[in-house]
Amino acid sequence: MSRYRGPRVKIVYRLGTLLGLTRKTPKLKSTSKNQSSTKKKKISQYRIRLEEKQKLRFHYGLSERQLLRYVRLARRAKGSTGQVLLQLLEMRLDNTIFRLGMAPTIPSARQLVSHGHITVNENVVNIPSYRCHSKDIISVQNKTKSQSLVDRNLTEIQQLKLPNHLMINIQKRQGIVNELINRTSIGVTVNELLIVEYYSRQA
């Protein structure tokens, strides 16, 4: 299954707020008899697990195949599979740029990386899935076009809560990864245990 390219608000309306996907919020519909009747329907455990998995997939902008690959990596690593999975996704370069405030969404951050506007430890990295490590220095290319793209977003950085594992120098357009992210700083609200359970039940 390829990466989703349809209406983003439609996904948010179904799954809830996903800041990595879009900052737009859907308009609330007035309650009606039809809506109240649907609320009474029993939701299956499979649907609950599926929706948690979909939140993760759409927030980080992954295809089903990519997410499955991360789940397999998390299973092989030491520690809780769910927490390792979230850590792997959060330490992606495109997500790190988003969390630093250099891009409004993860798709926008992915575009910055793919077009060669970002450097890691003074080396140009154009792979959005690049895994950031502790002490990595993430900078914007010393080009007018690159810097103007990021400056528009950094003006809003004060409105965002920077996670504990990151630092940013707005004047230098430079971010630093202090350490690996912990569970409390994850950028999306999900139940990772349900996601692991979803994949464990797949044939």
Q: Which of 3-7, 101-105, 130-134 has the highest mean pLDDT?
A: 130-134
**Whether residues 172 and 124 fall in one domain:** yes
Residues 81 and 108 in one domain: no
Q: Within this chain, do residues 63 and 112 fall inside the same structural domain, yes or no?
A: no
Q: Write down the pTM of the prediction.
A: 0.84
Residue 74 lies in a domain: yes
The enclosing domain of 142 has a CATH number of 3.10.290.10
Q: How far apart are CA 162 and CA 115, in angstroms?
A: 25
Q: What is the pLDDT of residues 31-54, one digit of tens each?
A: 444 444 445 678 888 899 999 999
How much of the chain, in percent, has pLDDT values that exceed 70? 84
One domain, residues 126 and 77: no
Distance of alpha carbon 188 from alpha carbon 172, whole angstroms: 28
If asked whether residues 79 and 99 sit together in one domain, one would say no
Three-state DSSP at 148 gives helix
Q: What is the mean pLDDT of residues 87-106?
A: 93
d(CA 62, CA 153): 23
For residue 60, being part of any structural domain is answered with yes
Q: Does one domain contain both 81 and 107?
A: no
Q: Flag whether 1 is in a domain.
A: no
pLDDT of 155 strictly over 80: no
- Same domain assignment for residues 169 and 125: yes
CATH number at residue 72: 1.10.1050.10
Q: Does any domain span residue 108?
A: yes
Residue 102 pLDDT more than 80? yes
Domain that holds residue 55: 8-88+188-200
- Based on the domain organization, do 97 and 176 belong to the same domain? yes
For residues 128 and 126, give the distance between their C-alpha atoms in angstroms, rounded to a whole number: 6
Is the pLDDT score of 154 beyond 70?
Answer: yes
Instruction: Pick the range with the lowest mean pLDDT from 27-36, 107-116, 170-179.
Output: 27-36
Residue 29 confidence (pLDDT) = 52
Q: Is 3 domain-assigned?
A: no
Residue 40 lies inside a defined structural domain of this protein: yes
Domain shared by 152 and 196, yes or no: no
Based on the domain organization, do 106 and 54 belong to the same domain? no
pLDDT of residue 31: 46
Asked whether residue 82 is assigned to any structural domain, the reply reads: yes
Number of structural domains the chain divides into: 2
2 found inside a domain: no
- Looking at the structure, tell me whether residues 104 and 153 fall in a common domain: yes
The answer to whether the beta carbons of residues 56 and 89 sit under 8 Å apart is yes
**Contact assessment for residue 121 and residue 127, using Cβ atoms and an 8 Å cutoff:** no
Is 111 found in the same domain as 82?
no
103/107 Cα distance (integer angstroms): 9
pLDDT of res. 184: 87
* Closest by Cα among 94, 80, 66, 113 to 182: 80
Mean pLDDT to the nearest integer, 109-129: 95
Give dist(CA 107, CA 189) in Å, integer. 19
